[in-house]
């Protein structure tokens, strides 16, 4: 299996055209393609730079020629949840006709869309990408083969992966930056490549302050790591 990550610019996509004109971002929570009507139904999270940006973006989206249905579920400040139905785009048609399939959520902002697309073999992937170039602009950001064992391991341990992801989200911005710089400078190496004084100078704070930030970040991460270890199923 070949997995391709693309930065896609579809000329007939309502979401992409909306982000071209308004400071809004779309993230797909769910999607379903109706092969009979050739329509894509999605539930999308929409985030605007401001409430006005969100309002104007939703207005433009609803009146787009390729938008068949746009229903607002919930809205709060600069974030909204919507359900949409759009006509099949050229890029969608090409990928489906060549046996490709979506492997990750859509993310659309600033006039382009991040696609995660899978193919059963490399030749099919090459042929599809060549056909896509006729009517679409895109950049292949990543391309790699997915082996069965790593895929199965990840699927078996999604709970552990979610726990580690939550650990990262619990870090404050200061803790995240401090931990990243400490690791980059070799603070955790043996012998140490950096001292607390060096880290303090990097952030222009006291030794005590940077030490507290490191310890808080370590506690949050290590607790979640231990929790994740308890749920891991060894597939070796």
Quick check: 147 pLDDT over 80?
no
- Of 108, 124, 146, which residue is a domain's last? 146
Quick check: 82 pLDDT over 90?
yes
Quick check: 236 pLDDT over 50?
no
> What was the pLDDT predicted at 164?
82
Q: Is residue 121 part of a domain?
A: yes
Q: Is residue 57 part of a domain?
A: yes
Q: Give the separation between CA 39 and CA 59, rounded to whole angstroms.
A: 21
Quick check: 173 pLDDT over 80?
yes
> What was the pLDDT predicted at 139?
93
* Same domain (yes/no): 112, 216: no
> What was the pLDDT predicted at 70?
94
* Same domain (yes/no): 71, 109: yes
Quick check: 219 pLDDT over 60?
yes
> What was the pLDDT predicted at 178?
92
Quick check: 44 pLDDT over 90?
yes
Q: Is residue 236 part of a domain?
A: no
| pLDDT more than 90, % of the chain | 62
> What was the pLDDT predicted at 233?
60
- Of 124, 146, 168, which residue is a domain's last? 146
Residue range of the domain that includes 157: 152-231
Lowest model confidence (mean pLDDT) among 54-63, 181-190, 191-200, 226-235: 226-235
Quick check: 33 pLDDT over 60?
yes
* Same domain (yes/no): 168, 131: no
> What was the pLDDT predicted at 167?
84
* Same domain (yes/no): 45, 97: yes
Token pair listed for 22: 């308004």
The torsion angles phi and psi of 48, rounded to 5 degrees, stand at -105, 155
Q: Give the separation between CA 58 and CA 178, rounded to whole angstroms.
A: 38
Give the domain CATH number at 194: 1.10.10
> What was the pLDDT predicted at 93?
92
At residue 110, the 3 state secondary structure works out as coil
User: What is the pTM assigned to this prediction?
Assistant: 0.64
| pLDDT more than 70, % of the chain | 94
Contact by Cβ (8 Å): 156, 228 = no
* Same domain (yes/no): 11, 82: yes
Tally of domains in the chain = 2
Q: Is residue 128 part of a domain?
A: yes
> What was the pLDDT predicted at 154?
60
* Same domain (yes/no): 183, 116: no
> What was the pLDDT predicted at 149?
56
Quick check: 107 pLDDT over 70?
yes
Q: Give the separation between CA 17 and CA 24, rounded to whole angstroms.
A: 11
Lowest model confidence (mean pLDDT) among 157-166, 167-176, 181-190, 204-213: 157-166
* Same domain (yes/no): 223, 180: yes
Q: Which residues contact 103 (CB under 8 A, 6 or more apart)?
A: 3, 116, 117, 118
């Amino acid at each position: 299996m070949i997995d391709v990550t693309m930065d896609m610019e579809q000329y007939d996509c309502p979401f992409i055209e909306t982000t071209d004109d308004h400071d809004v971002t779309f993230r797909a929570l769910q999607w379903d393609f109706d092969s009979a009507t050739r329509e894509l139904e999605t539930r999308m999270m929409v985030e605007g730079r401001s409430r006005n940006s969100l309002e104007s973006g939703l207005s433009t989206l609803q009146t787009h020629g390729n938008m068949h249905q746009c229903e607002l579920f919930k809205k709060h400040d600069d974030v909204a949840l919507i359900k949409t139905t759009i006509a099949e785009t050229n890029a969608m048609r090409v990928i489906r006709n060549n046996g490709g399939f979506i492997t990750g959520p859509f993310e659309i902002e600033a006039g382009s869309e991040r696609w995660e697309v899978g193919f059963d073999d490399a030749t099919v992937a090459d042929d599809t990408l060549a056909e896509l170039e006729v009517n679409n602009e895109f950049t292949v950001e990543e391309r790699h083969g997915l082996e069965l064992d790593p895929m199965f391991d990840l699927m078996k341990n999604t709970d552990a992966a979610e726990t580690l992801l939550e650990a990262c989200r619990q870090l404050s911005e200061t803790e995240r930056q401090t931990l990243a710089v400490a690791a980059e400078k070799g603070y955790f190496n043996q012998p140490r490549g950096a001292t607390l004084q060096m880290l303090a100078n990097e952030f222009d704070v006291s030794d005590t302050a940077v030490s507290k930030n490191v310890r808080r970040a370590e506690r949050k991460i290590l607790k979640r790591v231990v929790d994740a270890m308890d749920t891991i199923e060894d597939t070796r």
